[in-house]
A and B are shown apart, each in its own frame.
Chain A
Amino acid sequence: MRRQLAAAMAAALLLGGPALAQDAPAAGARDEAFAKLPYWPGFWVSEQYQGTTIGGTAAARPAGSPPLQRLNGFNAPYNDEGRARQAEAQRTRGGRRADGWGYPMMMDAATPFQVTITPEETVIINAYGESRHIYTDGRPLPAEEDMWPTVWGTSIGHWEGDTLVIETVQVQMPYTYFHGGPTFSEEARYFERLRLDGEMLILEFRVEDPVTLSGPWSATIRHVRETGYDRMVRMDFSNDRTGQENGVNTIEDTAAESGDR
């Protein structure tokens, strides 16, 4: 029913070009569509990072806990190109710093994200302002010539019951933006299924990359609501003192310590 409704809404939009406001679906159709959508309030972090403190570390999990899956791709089935990229990442990681998590790592992070669900679009936003726009208005991916690799890629989605099914393409190599990210190529295609299960947001993730992988790679990430957040905070870098020396990161003196105004 939801796919039919989304398709009906999409038919009112110009799919061959930019969606125009005058083609927006009738108010009743939007309200009906909204009524069928789930609601996932909260500020979500992956199970791995629950309880992370300002020190950047989370409490150790109980002894004997099964290892958690990650989206960093460390155990992906790399081919020769993939292994070469992983080796290069290993060599350069220590001197890197990033402005955020990027994709896919923002979906497996200590930085909370929220999921805002409307009929046309689901937006996933974290405390760095990193935003994924997942269009659920029935549109296909844009034409090839209208896409280019970006940090967070281009996403479309649809609802299967209360599961959000997402397809994402045109993601620049994740390691470029964040040194904790995998080394998949721009040709990678990412497939996700996101649903609420009790108090957990479950992400089933799969990536296919003809350039770096010998086969598909999957992982499941469970997200929990991080406590203590009643609103989305805004991270900035106003107190960033990261420096670099000989290829490794350092901590610079504060402005006062260094004699700056």
Chain B
Amino acid sequence: MTGGSLAGMLFAAVALPSGSAAQEPTPQARVEAFAQLPYWPGYWVGETAAGTTISGMAQPGGAPREASAEGGIAMWDNKAPWNDEGRRRIAEVMRAQAARKGLGWGFPLMMNSSTPVQFLITPEEVIIVNAYKETRHIYTDGRDHPPTDDLWPTVTGNSIGHWEGDTLVIDTIMVSDPNAFFQGNAPLSEEAHYRERIRLDGDKLIAEWTIEDPVTLSGPWHARVRLVREPGFDRMIEVNWDNDRTGNEGNVNTIEPPEEE
């Protein structure tokens, strides 16, 4: 019995109706479910962002990141089948890009970034969290997405998942326009549907993406991202904005002088 089906069976009887209090499986059931789950320790960054220094560059001299054959999921690296509306949105965001600043990576780009993410895997839920405290809660307790009237667009969306062997299969909806949060994301609509398959292959996490969006895409957008462990992290650090001196002069960002102590 695969881990995915075991967890699903164990939790099918305790799937949560919306708004109800938690009903937990027996401790023994949890332990058995946990024993079926993989373990993905480490602090993971996108393969093309590995080795990013404090300058924000992955390679000395600022050489451009090498695009993957399949294309990634970022504005600067994708092979998405944009339709007219998608192309219109891209043109619009390119015009304003130099004056933008993000408060994090948002979704989906937190899954392919220079900011490390970690995976916390338990029977009920996989939590993905990064150093900007961006968190994804992927419920693997057998539940469906909440009813439509209990959903609204958020930066990281609403995710459910299940295990197929050691592959985590994730279904995410209700993501607010990713580009609105961080300009590195593609400008998809709130109707976009994101499907991921993540597995550990040797020392890399391989994430296969299929994104469908009736508003901006003419067909499914397939992408593949590889994550590697970033050395030097023995714990999740916290990035805050204490030393942020980003200013803005209309159409470009600026660097403000330091505040007087």
Contact = CB atoms under 8 A, between A and B. Distances in A.
Interface residues of chain A: helix, strand, loop or mixed (majority): loop
Counting chain A residues whose Cβ lies within 8 A of the other chain, the interface size class is: 35 or more
A231 B146 contact: yes
A120 B41 contact: yes
A18 B234 CA distance: 4
A131 B42 contact: no
A130 B131 CA distance: 10
Interface stretch (A24-32, A45-53, A54-62, A207-215): A24-32
Interface in B166-225: 176, 203
Contacts of A225: 21-22
Contacts of B20: 230
10 contacts: A31-B34, A41-B22, A41-B124, A42-B21, A42-B22, A118-B121, A118-B122, A120-B41, A225-B22, A228-B19
A41 B154 CA distance: 23
A238 B180 CA distance: 11
A233 B17 CA distance: 16
Nearest to A149: B242
B18 interface: yes
Contacts of A77: none
A179 B236 CA distance: 25
Contact of A231 (B21, B42, B139, B231): B139
B134 A118 contact: no
B179 to A, nearest CB: 14
B149 interface: no
Nearest to B236: A133
Contact of A19 (B134, B139, B234): B234
Contacts of B22: 41-42, 225
Nearest to B15: A230
Interface in A1-37: 17-19, 21, 24, 27, 30-31, 34-35
Contacts of A135: 235
Contacts of A230: 16-20, 146
B41 A24 contact: yes
Contacts of A128: 133
A131 B135 contact: yes
A183 interface: no
B238 interface: yes
Interface in A102-132: 116-118, 120-121, 123, 125, 128-131
A233 B42 CA distance: 26
A130 B232 CA distance: 23
B240 interface: yes
A79 interface: no
B135 A125 contact: yes
A142 B235 contact: yes
Contact of A236 (B41, B124, B137, B155): B155
Given A27-B39, A230-B19, A234-B155, A39 B27 contact: yes
Interface string B99-127: 00000000000000000000011101101
